[in-house]
Amino acid sequence: MPILHALNDEFGYVDASAVPVIADELNLSRAEVHGVLTFYHDFRKEPAGRHVVKVCRAEACQSMAGRDLEEHIKRHLKVELGETTADKRITVEAVYCLGLCACAPSMMVDGKLHARMTPAKFDKIAKELR
Amino acid sequence: MTATLYIPCDSAAIACGAEEVLLAIQAEALARKIELKIIRNGSRGMLWLEPMIEVATPEGRIAYGPVAPEDVATLFAADFLNGGKNHPLCIGRPEDVPYLKNQERLTFARCGITDPTDIEDYIAHDGYRGLKAAAHMSGEAIVTAVTESGLRGRGGAGFPTGIKWKTVLGLDAQQKYIVCNADEGDSGTFADRMIMEGDPFLLIEGMTIAGLAVGATKGFVYIRSEYPIAYAQMEKAIVAANRAGYLGPNVAGSGKAFDLELRLGAGAYICGEETSLLESLEGKRGMVRAKPPLPAIKGLFGQPTVINNVLSFVAVPTILDKGATFYKDFGMGRSRGTMPLQLAGNVKHGGLIEKAFGITLRQVIEDFGGGTASGKPIRAVQVGGPLGAYFPQSLLDTPLDYEAMAAAKGMLGHGGIVVFDDSVDMAMQARFAMEFCAVESCGKCTPCRIGSTRGVEVIDRIREGQNRQKNMELLADLCDTMLDGSLCALGGLTPFPVQSAVRHFPEDFNRPAGHRAAAE
């Protein structure tokens, strides 16, 4: 897993061509490495957009209109969760709890945390993402 | 004169703008030619006040919050660097705020006060006293102290920690392991994160004591990838502890070795389940193992392993320092000691509340939380994360202890409490529970893998008004199958929120389909 994390961090995703190399190095079958790669939500199989927005879908955020925020983001960027905008600018993903439940709803943009979100705050942040 | 300022580095404070406030303060201080000493402390846990900034003064620390960058100029004008009280954001001494004053903080006693990664500061605030005591005790004596304290697993299952440790102590093996479950994935929980960010040495100390107790020389902390700041803080603290001789070949002069390593999760909720976590630590898919064998007997790499939650380990130093009886005197019934509760969701004053077991849900939500943030009435409260039951108004007087919660067909879990106001649609919440289980299921056992997807479909049919009576029966049946037939707690507890929603809020499952479409 530390190897996959390193690749994912470096390239933004884990290319399929890396699987046989890792398998060979660790004396595992390709199937085993592929299995690990596809099990975890964090590892990407293809490059993401230039920016990644992770929006929290868990209960505490729901209680503070997290669902409205999610709908707003999807409408605003014209994507579904897990998709990238046509201009490859922003990828939107779901995350289940960022641990900021007392200042909900929350999201993470390129690793930076934002809490007490509103659709207006999102528009402001999105405008700065190029 | 140099003023000393405390600006939290806690994720919640940063997400609310602590970095921007820090920059604004530095810029203003530069313009006014004032020298500042800035300490990045943890959070005190009064999260509605974050970012909460504290200033050291002769009468103690004076707090201001929630501070926005726009407030910085007026704070300087109000002489906040000398504790000036003439500012609307001034809170006074944090210890005097009833929210903190009325708590019983044992585990979180230091969190927010010290510089989290400064080991000297930790020791100056009674840190490592538990380990120093343990260093001169036999393994049996340490385990006995933990057993007598009545400490039970704080991860959710509530299994007596001392018994788990005793099993591992009694086994002969070439290598034993201590594993900390810091994959805090439950919605509404953040105590693990807060302690790792705000007092990481406490976790290191707790795990080291466990190592000495059972004869393990190697420990792992499995931290979820959603917590990058916690990971960074732990990393710094481990380096400092090694350097000071509190980790390494001769722990605190005991002659025994203990090393600690961090591992990062990769966004799988199921890895909070202990056997799945062990698989993941071994570099595999996080698939749940069948029990027995218990991890205590065959755990990490097939060796005897103590696997505990963060909150269990961090309770241990207090027990060794102040004695089992001291700890045991808190709490009620068979739930001894204190529980760090996490109040979140639609609530005015969300945050961390450490209290002895036995406080009621209503006391937590009303006395500490101050009611809902929206000002509307409370309709439902989910306790114990996404697998915990929803409680209606009529059950809010249930005391928070393991047995009382179980009697009310709920669970305390990891102590997360999420409040919903009257705009919540409980059928939708039940659907979410099933949907979440479908996304996060490891896929090993059928009730969880297939049952959750079918559950979403059945609830959709109920919401649309198709054959309602029959589908409600089907849902009840499906819940029973998942409860009894699942391998681990994910499939086995997903019915908790669903059944509790059906039981306490039947009206939400019996609305005309058109009404719902209009509402959405």
* Ramachandran angles phi, psi of B413, nearest 5°: 55, -130
pLDDT tens digit sequence for B57-110: 999 999 999 999 999 999 999 999 999 999 999 999 999 999 999 999 999 999
**Interface-testing mutation among B14, B46, B187, B349, with chain A (most A C-beta atoms within 10 A):** B187
Nearest CB neighbour to A59, from listed B11, B418, B442 = B418
B424–chain A nearest CA distance, Å: 7
* Measured distance CA(B20)–CA(B42) in Å, rounded: 17
Structure tokens at B465: 């008004």
pLDDT of residue B436: 95
Nearest CB neighbour to B16, from listed A2, A61, A103 = A103
What is the CA B431 to chain-centroid distance, rounded? 25
Nearest to B432 by CA among B484, B508, B356: B508
pLDDT of residue B512: 79
CB atoms within 10 A of CB B314: 29
pLDDT tens digit sequence for B335-385: 999 999 999 999 999 999 999 999 999 999 999 999 999 999 999 999 999
In chain B, which residues have their Cβ closer than 8 Å to the Cβ of A39? 268, 285-286, 442
Contacts 24+ apart (CB under 8 A), A13-17: A13/A43, A13/A44, A13/A45, A13/A46, A13/A47, A13/A48, A14/A43, A14/A44, A14/A45, A16/A45
Beta bridge partners of B238: none
Q: Where are the beta strands (DSSP E) in B310-450?
A: 331-332, 335-336, 338-345, 351-356, 378-383, 390-392, 416-421
* Mean pLDDT, all residues of chain B: 95
CA end-to-end span of chain B: 59
DSSP annotation string for B308-347: EEHHHHTTHHHHHHH-HHHHHTSEETTEESEEEEEEEES-
Residue A108: closest C-alpha in chain B? B15
Please indicate whether, in this complex, the C-beta atoms of A101 and B15 are within 8 angstroms of each other.
Answer: no
Nearest CB neighbour to B12, from listed A39, A102, A111 = A102
B368 close to B443: Cβ distance less than 8 angstroms:
no
* Mean pLDDT, all residues of chain A: 94
Average pLDDT of B441-459? 96
Nearest CB neighbour to A104, from listed B193, B283, B345 = B345
In chain A, which residues have their Cβ closer than 8 Å to the Cβ of B364? none
Q: What is the dihedral of CA B399, B404, B410, B415, to 10 degrees?
A: 50
Q: Would you tell me the crossing angle of helices B200-214 and B139-149 to the nearest 10 degrees?
A: 120
Asked if ipTM goes beyond 0.90, one says yes
Residue A66: closest C-alpha in chain B? B345
- The answer to whether A27 contacts chain B (CB < 8 Å) is no
In chain A, which residues have their Cβ closer than 8 Å to the Cβ of B347? 102
Nearest to B314 by CA among B109, B13, B102: B109
Going by pLDDT thresholds of 50, 70 and 90, the confidence category of residue B515 is low
Q: B396 or B513, which is more confident?
A: B396
Please indicate whether, in this complex, the C-beta atoms of A41 and B185 are within 8 angstroms of each other.
Answer: no
pLDDT of residue B511: 85
Residue A35: closest C-alpha in chain B? B285
| CA distance to B37, B53, B202, B243, per residue, from B124 (Å) | 19, 22, 13, 17
Residue B347: closest C-alpha in chain A? A102
Beta bridge partners of A91: A52, A84
Q: What is the dihedral of CA B373, B376, B377, B380, to 10 degrees?
A: -60
B471–chain A nearest CA distance, Å: 25
3-state secondary structure of B448: helix
What is the CA A102 to chain-centroid distance, rounded? 22
Q: What is the dihedral of CA B351, B356, B360, B361, to 10 degrees?
A: 30
Average pLDDT of B15-29? 97
What is the CA B228 to chain-centroid distance, rounded? 16
Going by pLDDT thresholds of 50, 70 and 90, the confidence category of residue B197 is very high
In chain B, which residues have their Cβ closer than 8 Å to the Cβ of A95? 226, 267
Beta bridge partners of A92: A53
Going by pLDDT thresholds of 50, 70 and 90, the confidence category of residue A88 is very high
A65–chain B nearest CA distance, Å: 9
| CA distance to B8, B63, B65, B114, B491, per residue, from B84 (Å) | 20, 10, 14, 23, 55
pLDDT tens digit sequence for B227-276: 999 999 999 999 999 999 999 999 999 999 999 999 999 999 999 999 99
A92–chain B nearest CA distance, Å: 15
A56 close to A68: Cβ distance less than 8 angstroms:
no
Structure tokens at B512: 């005309």
pLDDT tens digit sequence for B288-336: 999 999 999 999 999 999 999 999 999 999 999 999 999 999 999 999 9
Provide the edge-to-edge strand list for the sheet that holds B351-356: B351-356, B338-345, B416-421, B378-383, B390-392
**Is residue B519 scored above 50 in pLDDT?**
no
Please indicate whether, in this complex, the C-beta atoms of B227 and A99 are within 8 angstroms of each other.
Answer: yes
